[in-house]
Structure 1
Amino acid sequence: MRVEVRDNNVDQALRVLKKKLQREGVYREMKLRTHFEKPSEKRAREHAAAVSRARKADRKRAERDR
């Protein structure tokens, strides 16, 4: 990943870098890899995320159909 520093403005470049890392999911993955997660916990987390995505898709579909 590459970020350009313009006019020696390192603070702005750092903000851009952090935003890019967050969009890529690096922070989330670091948090998940910090501690061991049991396979059952991983399945439960992934299932909850899938349910959340499905509900969001249903809400958007219902809103679009109005």
Structure 2
Amino acid sequence: MQVLVRENNVEQAIRVLKKKMQREGLFREMKARSAYEKPSEKRAREKAEAIRRARKLARKKAQREGLLPGPKKKAPAGRAR
């Protein structure tokens, strides 16, 4: 993984790196590898993840077909008074 540092702005480069690592699932994998996971716990976790993905897919499909309302629109940032 590579991040370019522009104009000696290390803080911004670190933020970009953290975002890339988060997107790749590196933090989740590091946490999972930090301790042993029993095979039964692994099966239960993977089954729960599969159920979550299937529900998300069904929800998105229902929204596209108009059976469910779409996601809520976010208000523009910085306009709170």
Asked whether the two chains share a fold, i.e. TM above 0.5, the reply is yes
The share of aligned pairs that are identical, in percent, is 67
RMSD: 0.5
Q: How far is 1:60 from its partner?
A: 0.8
Give the TM-score normalised by the residue count of structure 1. 0.97
Q: Which consecutive aligned stretches of 4+ in structure 1 deviate over 2 angstroms post-superposition?
A: none
Higher relative contact order (CA closer than 8 Å, sequence separation 6+): 1
Q: Gaps (5+ residues) in structure 1?
A: none
Could you tell me which residue of structure 1 aligns to residue 14 of structure 2?
14
User: In structure 1, what residue type is equivalent to 2:31?
Assistant: K
Partner Cα distance (1:9, 1:64) in 2: 42
User: In structure 2, what residue type is equivalent to 1:37?
Assistant: E
Q: Gaps (5+ residues) in structure 2?
A: 67-81
Greater C-alpha Rg: 2
